[in-house]
Amino acid sequence: MSKQTLSFQAEVAQLLHLVTHSLYSNQEIFLRELISNASDACDKLRFEGLNNSALFEDAPNLEVRVAFDKAAKTLTITDNGIGMSEQEAIDHLGTIAKSGTKDFMGKLSGDQKQDAQLIGQFGVGFYSGFIVADKITVESRRAGLPAEEGVRWTSGGTGDFEVEAINRPARGTSIILHLRDDAEEYLNAWKLKQVIAKYSDHISLPILMEKEEWKDGELINSDDENGGRQPGGMVKTGEWETINKASALWSRPKKDVTEEQYADFYKAISHDQEAPLTWAHNRVEGNTEYTQLLYIPAKAPFDLWNRDKKAGVKLYVKRVFIMDDAEALMPTYLRFVKGVIDSADLPLNVSRELLQESRDVRAIREGSTKRVLSMLEDLAKHDKHEAAAAATADDAVTDVVDADDKAKEGKYSQFYAEFGAVLKEGLGEDFGNRERLAKLLRFASTTSDTATVGFADYKARMKEGQEAIYYITADNLAAAKNSPQLEVFKKKGIEVLLMTDRVDEWALNYLHEFDGTPLQSVAKGAVDLGTLQDEGEKKAAEEAAEAFKPVLAKLKEALKDKAEDVRVTTRLVDSPACLVVQDDGMSTQLARMLKQAGQQAPETKPVLEVNAEHALVKKLDGSVHFHDLAHILFDQALLAEGGLPEDPAAYVKRVNALLV
Ligand code: ADP
């Protein structure tokens, strides 16, 4: 068989360039990534071996070996896992299968620090080897294939790679890193052990290194870095020893796991370089028994908005890895949660289809969802130093570990800034937890520019006689704050929640009240401030409306193609007019958003509300420019809420004619 030279997929070449240029400040992560791949490969073998024990050949003990050769300047990581066929090596090591790769590449700015952070979240995996190596050789044979069907893959990490068939009796994969001059520190057992302890202690597989001993060493000064021994240095003994704890982190008792180890484990499973915001580690007992170790990240991943994105929770059954991204374990709106669930009840050969139907899985999913909500409630509680009742768990839980209280301060706002909008999807997705979710939502309001106002805070501040929670949706905070619809609320000092996330409008369709108080959009229906409006005002408004009736009839006629109705309103103070939708109508923003996204939106005409007290509106009566003024009034109301006149040129012409 001859060698073939193949090109990397364009994105791989780009990623490789970035890896070598941005990640050198955090060199050592390459070892974590390669050991993690080795461990995954063993997990896959164990899984496939459930139905085909022949795959284990004569080596049933799965393990990873780390070896270095000072003279050749190579570091080799070998696993006896599933291995790769030639085609798999070409496919897996030459392309990136992750969805969203292109988008991800587009986000990179060229600023090394920022990019390094993003790459960390993306997970560079195998390619991280090129941080320390200027050439990588991979030798592999897939479990079950004959020795002659081994493969050697070689690349210098630039445009292309070579593959050739080799004879490889041993099942599994060796990754041989030809180290750069500036990475020679990894040719040292002490350094390797230190990095492995930091990143890979939780790996449930034994990681082995060859024992070394002193050759002709003479103790000179035991304080220096070589332990004081000089001449012959360390030599290999041919004996291998396990250098990690080799027990799954989540199965250890909490007292044996430090905060740092929890954080390191998170980094290893999430590829995130930052520590998590919080986590919960519980053993749940009852009808369904399982262990959950769930983390909330500090930063949103680059592909958070991809609802098809893989979920972040790994499923294990009695410590045997079953699958990544088991979407049945977490609802979609909690897709940012990372972690591990280890079930004691599920069968080892459980399939994705089976997962969807299993009652145990449903119980785990419900329990885990509640656990995440409890974690968030807990953060929210500490964020505000409220003495609110602690979240109660619904399962009988023992062995709970949480990040400590003091450290939780300020974290809810941080969480909310990153993931708040995703959480809102839950209102439409998880009816059972709707009330708990509603309590976790935060918005900006007419009294707060930052998204810190919860419905409960709002309710506590409601005016005497106020019967609804008022809100407005808009494209952005400035547009929301300056909405003409807010004028009367501002005048009366009534707080209005300002909702500017794209999902708000949709999510609010599923929430009609909070704790018995209805939610009311100030841009829908007629304003009825109820007892908040005094009798005098009501009377004045009615009289103004009566006097305005003839003009109103003419306005309706002039705008009959654009407006469903025209009516006099009391909601305006400074503006001449605004648009509102009927009570059951879709807001103009949402309709606009749907159209922009190329979707169908119902063609509903808005209602034009006019302020009969406004000079411009008063001018209408008897004006020779009545028709033009009427259209300008309508188009301006549209502009004020971020829309565009149907015929912008006609609008400009009309305004200019009046200006001249
Ligand atoms: P990821 O692990 O996130 O999928 P990587 O770039 O690290 O991405 O690896 C790409 C693919 O290469 C893996 O999904 C796997 O199929 C294959 N691979 C990498 N390392 C090994 C290994 N040690 N044994 C078997 N397959 C491997």
Residue 273 has pLDDT above 60, yes or no: yes
Q: At what angle do helices 626-640 and 535-558 cross, to 10 degrees?
A: 110
- Which protein residue has the closest C-alpha to ligand 1 atom 15? 92
The Cα 373–Cα 611 span in angstroms is: 46
- Which protein residue has the closest C-alpha to ligand 1 atom 7? 125
- The verdict on the CB of residue 126 being under 6 Å from ligand 1 is yes
Architecture in CATH for domain 248-440: 2-Layer Sandwich (3.30)
- The verdict on the CB of residue 84 being under 6 Å from ligand 1 is yes
Pairwise pLDDT comparison (388 vs 584), residue with the higher score = 584
Residue 260 has pLDDT above 80, yes or no: yes
- Structural tokens at position 606: 């808005």
Output the pLDDT for position 324.
74
Residues 6+ apart with CB under 8 A from 72: 178
Taking the domains of the chain in order of start, what are their residue ranges?
4-215+233-242, 248-440, 442-659
- Which protein residue has the closest C-alpha to ligand 1 atom 12? 92
- The verdict on the CB of residue 454 being under 6 Å from ligand 1 is no
The Cα 497–Cα 453 span in angstroms is: 8
- Which of 301, 254, 304, 245 is closest to 279 using CA atoms? 254
Pocket test for ligand 1, best of 39, 40, 80, 321 (most atoms within 8 A of CB): 40
- Which of 540, 542, 537, 507 is closest to 521 using CA atoms? 507
Residue 458 contacts residue 486 (beta carbons within 8 Å)? no
Pocket test for ligand 1, best of 37, 128, 163 (most atoms within 8 A of CB): 37
- At 352, the pLDDT band (50, 70, 90 cuts) reads confident
- List, for residues 204-253, the tens digit of each pLDDT value: 889 999 998 877 766 666 555 555 666 667 788 889 999 988 788 898 89
In the reported structure, the alpha carbon of residue 152 is separated from the centroid of ligand 1 by a whole-number distance in angstroms of 15
Local structure of 281: helix, strand or coil: strand
Mean local confidence (pLDDT), 277-296: 93
- At 187, the pLDDT band (50, 70, 90 cuts) reads very high
Pairwise pLDDT comparison (389 vs 532), residue with the higher score = 532
- List, for residues 171-185, the tens digit of each pLDDT value: 999 999 999 999 999
For the CA atoms of 377, 381, 386, 390, the dihedral, rounded to the nearest 10 degrees, stands at 60
Output the pLDDT for position 310.
66
In the reported structure, the alpha carbon of residue 494 is separated from the centroid of ligand 1 by a whole-number distance in angstroms of 58
Output the pLDDT for position 485.
87
- The verdict on the CB of residue 143 being under 6 Å from ligand 1 is no
- List, for residues 402-451, the tens digit of each pLDDT value: 556 667 778 999 999 999 999 999 999 999 999 999 999 999 999 999 88
- The verdict on the CB of residue 174 being under 6 Å from ligand 1 is no
Query: Average pLDDT, whole number, for the chain?
Result: 85
For the CA atoms of 647, 649, 651, 655, the dihedral, rounded to the nearest 10 degrees, stands at 180
Output the pLDDT for position 159.
85
- The verdict on the CB of residue 123 being under 6 Å from ligand 1 is yes
The Cα 538–Cα 417 span in angstroms is: 42
The Cα 237–Cα 504 span in angstroms is: 65
The Cα 270–Cα 299 span in angstroms is: 11
Output the pLDDT for position 447.
92
Output the pLDDT for position 241.
92
- Give yes or no on whether 4-215+233-242 and 442-659 have one common fold: no
Mean local confidence (pLDDT), 15-28: 76
Query: Minimum mean pLDDT among 352-361, 364-373, 623-632: which range?
Result: 352-361
Output the pLDDT for position 154.
97
Residue 297 has pLDDT above 90, yes or no: yes
In this structure, which topology does domain 4-215+233-242 adopt according to CATH? Heat Shock Protein 90 (3.30.565)
Output the pLDDT for position 660.
87
Pocket test for ligand 1, best of 92, 161, 309, 325 (most atoms within 8 A of CB): 92
Output the pLDDT for position 225.
56
Residues 6+ apart with CB under 8 A from 91: none
- At 11, the pLDDT band (50, 70, 90 cuts) reads confident
Output the pLDDT for position 306.
67
- The verdict on the CB of residue 138 being under 6 Å from ligand 1 is no
Mean local confidence (pLDDT), 495-514: 91
Percentage above 90 pLDDT, the chain: 43
DSSP state of 310: P
Across the beta sheet with 396-402, the strand order is 320-323, 312-317, 338-343, 290-296, 278-285, 396-402
Residue 110 contacts residue 96 (beta carbons within 8 Å)? no
Residue 202 has pLDDT above 80, yes or no: no
Q: Which CATH number fits the domain 442-659, given the four candidates 3.30.56.10, 3.30.70.2750, 3.40.50.11260, 3.50.50.60? A: 3.40.50.11260
Output the pLDDT for position 649.
94
Output the pLDDT for position 376.
96
Mean local confidence (pLDDT), 135-154: 97
Output the pLDDT for position 386.
41
Query: Minimum mean pLDDT among 100-114, 216-230, 327-341, 537-551: which range?
Result: 216-230
- Structural tokens at position 31: 């070892």
Output the pLDDT for position 387.
35
Q: Which atom of ligand 1 is nearest to the CA of 124?
A: 6
Output the pLDDT for position 385.
42
Output the pLDDT for position 220.
62
- The verdict on the CB of residue 367 being under 6 Å from ligand 1 is no
- List, for residues 298-327, the tens digit of each pLDDT value: 988 777 766 666 668 988 888 777 777 677
The Cα 56–Cα 179 span in angstroms is: 32
Residue 203 has pLDDT above 50, yes or no: yes
- The verdict on the CB of residue 82 being under 6 Å from ligand 1 is yes
Residue 465 has pLDDT above 80, yes or no: yes
Output the pLDDT for position 347.
78
pTM of the model: 0.70
Mean local confidence (pLDDT), 3-32: 82
Pocket test for ligand 1, best of 34, 126, 269, 324 (most atoms within 8 A of CB): 126
